[in-house]
Structure formats: C-alpha cells, structure tokens
Amino acid sequence: MASLLRGVLLPFFLSSILLLNHSVRGDNDEEDTLLQGLNDYRASLNLTALTKVDNAGCLADEIADQFKNQPCTNTTGANTVPGTEPQFANYPKLLTKCHLNVSATRDGVILPACVPNLVPSLVLSNFTKSQYSDYLNDTKFTGVGIGSEDDWIVVVLSTNTPEGSFTPSIGENANAASFPNIHMTYRFLLLLMASIFLL
C-alpha cells in the first residue's frame, strides 16, 4: 500500500510542483523583455528607469484578460484612434480585484498593444514608435506594470503622486499582502508532502 501510494502520488506531487513553478515563470518572458526595452528607451532619453509596481501589474493583467479574444486590427492597440479607446463596464470591478481605488489611478495610463505572437521587436516598437511614445517619454511616469494574454500586452504607467501611485487602498493592504503568503504556504505544503512520501 505504502509503495503504491509512493508510486502513484509521488510523481503527482512532484509534477504539481514543477507545474506551479512553470506557471509562475511561464509567460513572463515577453513582459521582462519589454520592460528592459522600455527602460533602454528611457535611458536613451536620459530619463529614469521605470520601476515595477505590483498593483499596476495586476491591473495590466486584468486588462489584457479583457482584450485577449479580440483580434489585432489596424484600429486596435497602439493603432487606436485617440478618443476611441474601448471602455470596460467592469473596470471598477477590475480595480477592486487589484485592491486599487480609482483615486490612486487617475493620473496613470493604460497602454494596450496587439501583436500576433508577441514578437519582441514589434512589441517594443508598438510602444516606442507609436502614439504611446509621448507617455514613455514623460518624466511624470515613474512606475510600470505589464501584463499579457495571447496576442495582447498591456503596459500601465504610474506616477509618484497620490493620484497615480497605484498604491493599494487603505483596508485592502492586509489582503494584498496576505495573498502571496497563501500561495507560498500552498507550495510549502506540497513540498512537505512530497518529502514525506520520499521517506
């Protein structure tokens, strides 16, 4: 019985751990490459590098999720005609999900781009060589969050003023902080169980 458990369950636990690690690293490569590219662009203009802001990253992920089923056209993403940006009726819900209050995001900007297969060089030029460059060029933006889904990649820029800082709403702080802890605990439990089966 013990060996049966070990034979069946151990591989299961080990693969869960591998899968978890994989999904954590997963599709962040495009995002890291883009961040590096945006900061190289900023450096070439003698601007400070953008620093990662967790809650802005959360919002970028949620927005990318809203876009993901839309195909790329010559009027979507970086090609959007100013003033015709899509509005999401559930935007307040997305903010809540990311522990954000609209008053801390007002000065930020959301820049979605659609690039088939997220080819890195095209992704970067969709930001630096489009109408978006005016934002990337702006000293008022200091923070960044990036999220991607399918062919969509979304950059959220934040400021260091209260109206654009993307700091979590008061009272939501506790929740925001405890989320990664739950995740870590879960992984720790899996590791613990796996090592018990190894004994």
Ligand X SMILES: *[C@@H]1O[C@H](CO)[C@@H](O)[C@H](O)[C@H]1NC(C)=O
Q: Interface residues for ligand X in 9-68 (CB under 6 A)?
A: 45-46
Amino acid at 50: L
Please name the residues in contact with 185: beta carbons below 8 A apart, sequence gap of 6 or more.
none
Contact with ligand X (CB under 6 A) among 16, 101, 120, 191: 101
Q: State which residue, 103 or 178, has the beta carbon closest to ligand X.
A: 103
Please name the residues in contact with 127: beta carbons below 8 A apart, sequence gap of 6 or more.
34, 37, 38, 41, 78, 111, 113, 133, 136, 155
**With binding defined as CB under 6 A, does residue 72 bind ligand X?**
yes
**With binding defined as CB under 6 A, does residue 70 bind ligand X?**
no
Please name the residues in contact with 161: beta carbons below 8 A apart, sequence gap of 6 or more.
107, 140
Q: State which residue, 115 or 144, has the beta carbon closest to ligand X.
A: 115
Of 2-10, 49-57, 127-135, 175-183, which part binds ligand X (CB under 6 A)? 127-135
Of 21-29, 49-57, 126-134, 182-190, which part binds ligand X (CB under 6 A)? 126-134
**With binding defined as CB under 6 A, does residue 129 bind ligand X?**
yes
Question: Residue 179: which H helix or E strand, with range?
Answer: helix 173-198
117: left (phi over 0), alpha (psi -120 to 50) or beta: left
Q: State which residue, 16 or 133, has the beta carbon closest to ligand X.
A: 133
Count of residues binding ligand X (CB under 6 A)?
19
Contact status, residue 153 vs residue 123, Cβ threshold 8 Å: yes
Q: How far is the CB of 49 from ligand X (least distance, A)?
A: 14
